[in-house]
Amino acid sequence: MQVTARGLTFDVHVGGPEDGQPVLLLHGFPQDHREFDLILPRLHAAGLRTYAMDQRGTSPGARPAQVEAYRLHEPAADALAVLDTLGIASAQVVGHDWGAQVAWLLAGRHPERVRTLTAVSVPHPRAMLLALRVRPSQKARLWYFPVFGSRVAERLFLARNAAALRGLLRPVGARAALYAGAVRDDPGRLTGGLNWYRAFRSEDMAVLGEITVPTTYVWSDRDGVVGPTAALRTADWVRADYRLVAMRGVSHWIPEQAPRELAGAVLARIGV
């Protein structure tokens, strides 16, 4: 379905029983709602109603031209507005990668709208900022940020039949072709995704405080982006029931590389 909110039109993919508890799923880059496809059958079988949203930059009808329009408070406001339009007072929230950043913001600033939080791969922002200060290795892991935010990023990603993008997503196997094809067919989608990197300001996240909703953070030991310090120190910033689910032998792309395990973590957090 398409949902118009804040003057933008978002593609929202809905599934599961109509009377099920609502679950809002927020994707990362360079993926879209399809990154959750492999966990949806278990969520639906458990009676949950899922809303997998293509966020700003990915939905064709939600691509502001200005880079500043992609600062993280904007997609967080999008998510709230979409819930409002759908008549959903509060939801279970699951986010991966950039979607996890948005999910942390929602839980921290609007806890009344978030029943539970499952953040995948990306830790609490304050834990990440700490790791960046005390672990040079964590700073090295984010080498790609200035590259993705550069003026030549589109050319780099689209060159040689989107070879760089397919390489980035190599751990998800054949599914990488879904996203490579999407950006080849719709280059504006790629620019929209890269604008999240161009707009990012660490101060936008530094003000986020403690999380007061039940939270699970899912991390994987072969994540090239997030090291163990940031993962372990996330617990410092949750003042509610909290679980760290640490997966072994899994990379950053948890929803597609370990869908059964992730679905189990989500269901355990929701309590169904």
What lies within 8 Å, CB to CB, of 56 at 6+ separation is 8, 10, 62, 63, 64, 69, 70, 74, 75, 78, 192
pTM listed for this prediction: 0.97
Residues forming beta bridges with residue 216, ordered by sequence position: 118, 243
Taking the CB of residue 9, how many other CB atoms lie within 10 A of it?
14
Residue 200 in contact with residue 167, Cβ under 8 Å? no
Q: Which pLDDT score is estimated for 158?
A: 94
pLDDT, tens digit only, all 272 positions of the chain = 999 999 999 999 999 999 999 999 999 999 999 999 999 999 999 999 999 999 999 999 999 999 999 999 999 999 999 999 999 999 999 999 999 999 999 999 999 999 999 999 999 999 999 999 999 999 999 999 999 999 999 999 999 999 999 999 999 999 999 999 999 999 999 999 999 999 999 888 888 999 999 999 999 999 999 999 999 999 999 999 999 999 999 999 999 999 999 999 999 999 99
- What is the 3-class SS of 238-272, one letter each residue? ECCCEEEEEECCCCCCHHHHCHHHHHHHHHHHHCC
Look-up of token digits 């003057």 = 7
How much is the pLDDT for 206? 87
pLDDT at 226: 98
pLDDT at 203: 87
Per the listing, tokens 């806890």 go with: 111
What does the pLDDT look like over 216-238, one tens digit per residue?
999 999 999 999 999 999 999 99
Tell me the C-alpha distance between 214 and 207, whole Å.
20
Give the count of beta carbons closer than 10 Å to the beta carbon of residue 74.
18
Query: What size, in residues, is the chain?
Result: 272
What would be the CATH architecture of the domain defined by 2-270?
3-Layer(aba) Sandwich (3.40)
What distance in Å separates the CA atoms of residue 202 and residue 256, rounded to the nearest whole number? 28
| pLDDT of amino acid 235 | 98
Q: What angle do CA 199, 205, 207 make, to 5 degrees?
A: 135
- Edge-to-edge order in the sheet of strand 114-120: 2-5, 8-15, 49-53, 22-26, 91-96, 114-120, 215-220, 242-247
